Structure 1
Amino acid sequence: MMNKKNNNVPGSSAAMLLYLRRTLVQQCKAQLLKPFVCLCAFVSLWLTTSAQTWIWYPGDYEIWLSNEMQNRRTERGTFYPVFWKVDSHYPLVDFHKEFDLTRPETVTIHAEGRYSVKLDGKAFPGTPQAIAVPAGKHKINIKVFNQATPPAVFVKGATIVSDSSWQVTFEDKEWIDETGKASDLSATVFRHAGSWNFNDRAATPSAYKLPVTPVTAITTEKVNKGLLVDFGKETFGFVKLHGVKGKGIISLYYGESREEALDTAASETFDRITLDQPTAADTINPGSKALRYVYITTEEDVQLDHASLLYEYAPLEDKGAFRCNDEEINRIYDVAKYTLHLSTREFFIDGIKRDRWIWSGDAYQSYLMNYYLMNDNETVKRTTYALRGKDPVTGHINTIMDYTFYWFMGVYDYYLYSGDKNFLVQNYGRMKSLMDFVWKRRNQNGLLEGLPGDWIFIDWATGLSKEGAVSFEQLLFARALETMALCAALAGRAEDAAQYKTAAAELKQQLFSIYWSDKAKALVHSQVNGRPTENVTRYANMFAIFFNYFNEQQRQAVKNSVLLNKNVPEITTPYMRFYELEALCALGEQNYVLKEMKNYWGGMLKLGATSFWEEYDPSKTGAEHYAMYGRKYGKSLCHAWGASPLYLLGKYYLGISPTAPGYAEYEVKPALGGLKWMEGKVPTPAGNIELYCSDKEINMVSPVGTGKLMITSKTRPVCKEGAAVDKGNNVYEIIIEKDKKYRIRYQAM
């Protein structure tokens, strides 16, 4: 991907293909060439210009890039590094591939780092930028050393090009005996090369930066001796100062609120620019920042005219969509979209002001929202690699036990939504070594408790006990073991799969024998000193609903005894509201959830929010809403986990979700939940599933797989395009075929 926009050169393989096709068709028409000649010219040009890309050891570039991004965090000018182990790339990597050429060709080679090249085991002298490869079967090896940035190569020939089919390793594990004979066998583990869409030789991976676009201020006012600049909404980027003159110091105090920007003693972030010599030019602040407001003060004889912003963003398009008759819900959806886009940088991060780190719990929710909005696989994969890091495993992901389990779940979800089995198989070894670490930390009863170095997070909630073996952690552990069983089977590890399946079943049995209380009609919160407590919280209970761990009687009991019970401590973070409302949707309570969305997310909008917050407590007033972590402005007013309506509206109102990898099979269970009508798109690997639903009509079309449309209707639905099969209890099923438009008349219950 190029760093700057260029309307003439596409940035992806698909775009390049379309560009070449369009160009050649135009040339063929202009020159009246025969169709066959045009086709041959197109194929030849595509082979030589669009297939190659920069490649590296899988995960290495992602880890390196995450280190670059996460270590940009500052608090009041002080560098603020992450809390966990930081890994790095392998400095020496071998790249190789075998080819069978029908004719000789010249191959150009470019690398990030020092490199050597071998053809069929024979080294070329020096560092060749091009080699001649004769016709026939050959093997090319390129070994690259780079301590500073990940070793990467870009190979381009007529048919020999660098792509993800190349094999890579960070260690040869070969030897030579006293006669000079090389070993016949090697224990080397090879992986498929990693790549993104750096499809141009000049677009080196290590030089990648997010693009920027200029934005003007909405208002500028003089406050005391400074300028308060308002960009109108939460945003992110580089403040640009225009017409700077003189020598001295410029201070920039950033605020997600007006109060924060003007509070120079307590604002979370600021920059100071020192001008050593007179200037009359534009000056850009040294680092990107989150802000809506910036308060600018000057010292000595510095003057400036005005300020603007270079908005920094990840160039991802919206594929999913949602609209309905309720304009407040439409506004909530739009602000949720903007919140997710702001929190999507090179990776899915938590929030743009404070941490700007990759947290597994936050990222897991971003993945799910992404599948219903942008459906960008590459950001999911990069984030997954960055979170996992490398062996040996010395602690939980982000040091948080629950965040380790979200990581496992995220890998399988990616496979379900994308159908990309290769990524799962390639990362099975990393999954297994992480689960081995978890397994060894069980107590004598096979349960997990917090050990030194473990952070039991669950949620931000005052007074929430983390003592003993918490039921929520055992529940996530069981789900992670189930995930490992599925992934092991897909990776061809049948013995592992059987062991994980057995372990998951045993843990689930323990979970209910220890924590289920007939008296409370719920799972209790924890076991301390070998005895279950009587404390009931929402966490394990709501997850057990959409994990389908409860039987129907337990589901209904928990709905009333926990989820709809105001005596059980309420949740005040969008993070866990996400799961609470998902559980209620899974129980068919879309009418109730719609009201909750309007009250909770609508409540933030009524307070002037332009993106959704890290935490929202309706009982607070004024500037109290900005405080967190014991700091006046510690709360993030743009936090990825605040965007959960994207997922809820896509999965539980439009009702579309995959039941087989890549939407080869899927379900559609539309639920208006009190709306009069709704329409939307849900992205899949093959395009968008489109649906319109009112209380009398459903229209839909899908470009992928086979779907099951489930409709609850007073009468049998009428559909000329398919048969409505009665499933009982006023539920009807219609099979949805690919690329076929359906119009269904029915009577909503």
Structure 2
Amino acid sequence: MNQSSLTCRYSNVAKALKAVILTLLMIMLWQSALFSQGNFPGSTAGVRAGEATWIWYPGDYAIWLANKMQNRRTERGSFLPVFWKMDSHYVLVEFHKDFELKAPERVRIAAEGRFNIKIDGKALTGSPENIVMPSGKHRLSLKVFNQANVPAVFVSGDDVKSDSSWKVTFEDKEWIDASGKASDKSGTIYQSVGYWNFNSALQKPSQFHLRTKQKQAVKKEFLPDGSILLDFGQETFGYVRLKNITGKGVVRMYYGESREEALSRDSCETLDTIMLQHAVSGFDTMTASTKAFRYVQISTPKGLSIDDADMLYEYAPVTTRGSFSCSDTLINKIWQVANYTLHLNTREFFIDGIKRDRWIWSGDAYQSYLMNYYLFFDQPTVKRTLYALRGKDPVTSHINTIMDYSFYWFMGVKDYFEYTGDSALVRTIYPKMVTLMDYCLSRRNKDGFMEGLPGDWVFIDWADHLTKQGALSFEQLLFCQSLKTMAICARVSNDLKGAAEYSKLSNELTRKLFDVFWDQNRHAFIHSDIGGRSGEQVFRYTNMFALLLGYLDSAKQKEVVSHVLLNKQVQAIHTPYMRFYELEALCAAGKLNVVTGEMRNYWGGMLARGATSFWEQYDPAAKGAAQYAMYGRPFGKSLCHAWGASPIYLLGKYYLGVKPTSPGYQTYEVRPQLGGLKWIKGTVPSADGDIQVYCDAKKISVKSSGIIGVGTLIIQSKTPPTTVQGTIRKIQDGLYKVEILPDQQYVVNYVAM
């Protein structure tokens, strides 16, 4: 396509064809307007008190929506489905709630699917959209069937409303005896309903889609063969729109996260083809599906021209509530790009990367949860992702088929409870935790260790020389943490017998872990045990996880830091995925100065290469187009991967120093550390409010806004600190604390260590 062909016109289009094109154009404009408005419910807030909302069987909407999202993946135009078992929603469910009304009440009913209505077990005629609930005590029941979409109901009256207090089941086990009497006793198990802020009868869950907004390319380049290369200035995601098309033929589009990829017609990961079999004039069209890209090469045949092209950027309108800035402009840039990276990968769910997989991987999602708690604090996206990953019973494989990803799923539930205090989610999902843990326990070897069996993918990390055979210390450590999680969630769910059993299993496995894998001479955990013979390799993985999860006493912490984490003879980690945990372990060990340097070198290194979002993997030694290669493909690497955004979490939890110490920030700790920076400031969100922190070498300021819990400010100071807002208490030499009460600001003068 050259500049003159872009402006050429065809004037001999038949009137009938023009009418068809105008009709199609009107449809496209209507769709564009619909897309730009979006249909995304309030993302972070729950259903407001007294407000009706659409309800469904818990987890089913997440499973249904995940099926739609994850099956959009294509590679060079070919459909590529997921590698694991996909479940579906229950097609027939029953909802009910008991009400006590002082007077009769008119109630509006809406449903997704065919439905019937019962009051006190007596069916009403037809499927009325409006009913009258009589005064007194009554039970309202609705049974809904929907094969295509999730059965859901919306009930709206003055007092009779569908909300989180309703109960639901997928099998009501109702029966009638020979006399016609209905059963008054059954083994039906009812769950609390699921919901997600679809708070209008017209806002049907099945019609949900993300929002879009128009974006223009920042640069247009005409290539020698007549095609055009658009540069949108940064990594982005959405639909490409072609404007004012004239002529007929096939338009081909080649997408690239890098310029090299977009120019490689034979090797780019994603492409689109638009066929215009009949001549058109002044026609606009849009790609059928979303793509990730920065660059787009558009190739048109002779006789077809396009005036212009732009895009509709698709996004989840989550709110950035967390913040961070400091004296180092590079660290500030790293935080900003990490923020954008996580935004791009926060969609209907937390996904791994926007170009290639666009799937929900448990290991990737686990890190996104943690980053989310310091950026968006978006609870619904975490819940949807947990439900979608777990799916339905029976359990036939590990989550994503990966052993460690099952363990990350358990750990994700634990962290969600600790950060949010949402015990309702724990109680609802606990039965699925039990069945997944039963599956794990059934696959232990004779020594009680988890070991990869046929059908299991043991991942850990992308790394050379990392054996996956036998019992691996890393997997046993995550297994220990998963059993601890089960004990916590069992207590929340009032399963005291289960809590005792899971605690016992966790303690036994922890002892075995140290007996078999801890090498006193190497001052570290060794990697594997194959057939009772311990290997001699030491990798960073088990050792750094043992430190950050609290499995090491102070003496072993020092050994691991010295002999593993700061030991360049131990194989280095090259993925941001495991750098996340390596740097967290160093933070937990108090080595923030080291972490600051590593962030500048590693994430700063990607920025120096022109990154506008953070990558799946970064090797400083790779140069030119070779830096984009992965999986045996020249452009297989994702240049926008959720696990690359980990500085958000590290800077929030360890530099600003904020973390909950009991579920839902009922109590919390603020322990700011400069890590070699001159000053830091930022905000950490919670379910109820925000915590604002400022710290330099002489002053610390902390304020909680809206948080009902009580915090503790921990101060490391060469001299006794002073404040006028509270009482400073000495913990030990050089370490002090101040109680932080809600909605008050504390300013402490101190001398940094």
What's the CA shift string for 1:527-579, capped at 9, x where partnerless?
01111111000000000001111111111011011001111110000000000
Quote the residue 1:430 is aligned against. 432
Q: Deviations over 1:409-463 (max 9, x none)?
A: 1011111111111000111100000000000000011001100000000000122
Could you say which residue in structure 1 is the equivalent of 2:13?
Answer: none
Tell me if structure 2 keeps the 8 A contact 1:76–1:269.
yes
Distance 1:117 1:106 in 2: 14
Q: Partner amino acid for 1:573?
A: T
What is the CA-CA distance between 1:10 and the residue it aligns to?
8.8
The DSSP-based 3-state class of the residue aligned with 2:412 is helix
| SS of aligned partner of 1:303 | strand
CA drift of 1:173 comes to 1.5
Say which SS state the counterpart of residue 229 (structure 2) adopts.
strand
2:157: which partner in 1? 157
Counterpart of 2:721, as a letter, is: P
Aligned with 2:363: secondary structure?
A: helix
Q: After the TM superposition, list the runs of 4 or more consecutive aligned residues in structure 1 that deviate by more than 4 angstroms.
A: 2-17
- Which runs of no fewer than 5 residues in structure 2 stay unpaired? 1-32
* C-alpha displacement of 1:183: 2.1
If the length of structure 1 is used for normalisation, what is the TM-score? Answer: 0.94
Residue identity in the other structure for 2:682: G
Matches within 5 A, 1:130-169: 130-169=130-169
CA distance in 2, matches of 1:342, 1:469: 37
Q: CA deviation at 1:299?
A: 2.3
Equivalences for 1:240-259 in 2 at 5 Å? 240-259=241-260
* 1:677 matched residue in structure 2: 679
2:645 is aligned to 643
Q: 1:731 aligns with which of 735, 739, 751?
A: 735
Q: Which residue of 1 aligns with 2:78?
A: 78
1:13 and 1:732, CA in 2 relative to 1: closer, same or farther beyond 3 A?
A: closer
CA contact 1:578–1:644 (8 Å) conserved in 2? yes
Residues 120 and 138, structure 1, Cα contact 8 Å, conserved in 2: yes
Is the contact between residue 210 and residue 313 of structure 1 (CA under 8 Å) also seen in structure 2?
A: yes
Deviation at 1:404, TM superposition (A): 0.2
Spell out the pairing of 1:213-292 with structure 2 (5 A cutoff).
213-223=213-223, 224-279=225-280, 280-292=282-294
Partner amino acid, structure 1, of 2:270: T
How do 1:544-559 and structure 2 match up within 5 A?
A: 544-559=546-561
Deviation readout 1:108-154 (Å, 9 max, x if unpaired)? 11111111111111111111111111111111111110000110111
In the superposition, the TM-score normalised over structure 2's length comes to 0.94
Q: Give deviations 1:27-73, integer Å, cap 9, x for gaps.
A: xxxxxxxxxxxxxxxxxxx85xxx01111101001000000000000
Between stretches 597-606 and 106-115, larger displacement belongs to 106-115
Distance, in Å, in 1 between the alignment partners of 2:158 and 2:38 is 26
Local SS of the residue matching 2:237: strand
Unaligned runs of 5+ in 1: 18-45
Per the TM alignment, residue 256 of structure 1 is displaced from its structure 2 partner at its CA by 0.1
Kindly provide the amino acid, as one letter, of the partner of residue 494 in structure 1.
L
Contact kept, 8 Å, 1:63 with 1:385, in 2: the verdict is: yes
Partner of 1:92: 92
Q: What amino acid is the match of 1:396? A: H
CA contact (8 A) 1:12 1:199 kept: no
Task: Find the aligned partners of 2:127 and 2:110 in 1 and give their Cα distance.
Answer: 10
| SS of residue matched to 1:427 | helix
In terms of mean alpha carbon deviation, does 179-188 or 219-228 score higher?
Answer: 179-188
Contact (CA 8 Å) 1:247, 1:300: kept in 2 or not? no
Instruction: Tell me what 1:715 maps to.
Output: 719
From 365, 368, 374, the equivalent of 1:366 is 368
Query: Which position in structure 2 is the counterpart of 1:698?
Result: 700
C-alpha spacing 1:605/1:90, structure 2 compared with 1 (3 Å): same
How big is each residue's C-alpha offset from its partner over 1:182-227, in whole Å with a ceiling of 9 and x where there is no partner? 2221111111111001111111101100000000110011112201
SS at structure 2 position matched to 1:554: helix
Cα distance in structure 2, aligned partners of 1:290 and 1:459? 24
Do the aligned residues in 2 keep the contact of 1:13 with 1:197 (CA within 8 Å)?
no
CA contact (8 A) 1:627 1:633 kept: yes
Q: Counterparts of 2:423 and 2:535 in 1: how far apart (Å)?
A: 42
**How far does residue 14 in structure 1 lie from its aligned partner after superposition?**
6.5
Q: Secondary structure at the match of 2:195?
A: coil
Q: What's 1:480 paired with?
A: 482
Alpha-carbon distance in 1 for matches of 2:354, 2:424: 32
The yes-or-no answer on 1:327 pairing with 2:329 is yes
Give the secondary structure class of the aligned counterpart of 2:138: strand
C-alpha separation in 1, matches of 2:175 and 2:45:
43
Paired AA for residue 444 in structure 1: K
Aligned partner of residue 319 in structure 1, secondary structure: coil
1: CA distance between counterparts of 2:175 and 2:436? Answer: 31
Structure 1 residues 140-539: aligned runs within 5 Å = 140-223=140-223, 224-279=225-280, 280-539=282-541
Q: Secondary structure at the match of 1:513?
A: helix
Secondary structure of 1:247's partner? strand
Q: CA deviation at 1:105?
A: 1.1
Q: Distance in 2 between matches of 1:573 and 1:276?
A: 46
Cross-structure match for 2:568: 566
The structure-2 alpha-carbon separation of the partners of 1:152 and 1:235, relative to structure 1 and needing over 3 Å to count, comes to same
Judge conservation of contact 1:219–1:231 (CA < 8 Å) in 2.
yes
**Percent identity over the alignment?**
57
1: distance between equivalents of 2:692 and 2:311? Answer: 37
Deviation of the 1:178 alpha carbon: 1.8
Shift in Å at residue 729 of structure 1? 2.9
Q: Does 1:742 align with 2:746?
A: yes
Distance 1:12 1:220, change over 3 A: closer
**Could you list the per-position Cα deviations for residues 349-393 of structure 1 after superposition, in whole angstroms to 9, with x for gaps in the alignment?**
000000000000000000000000000000000000000000000
Matched residues in 2 for 1:417 and 1:241: separation? 45
**Structure 1 residues 246 and 15, CA, compared in 2 at 3 Å: closer, same or farther?**
farther
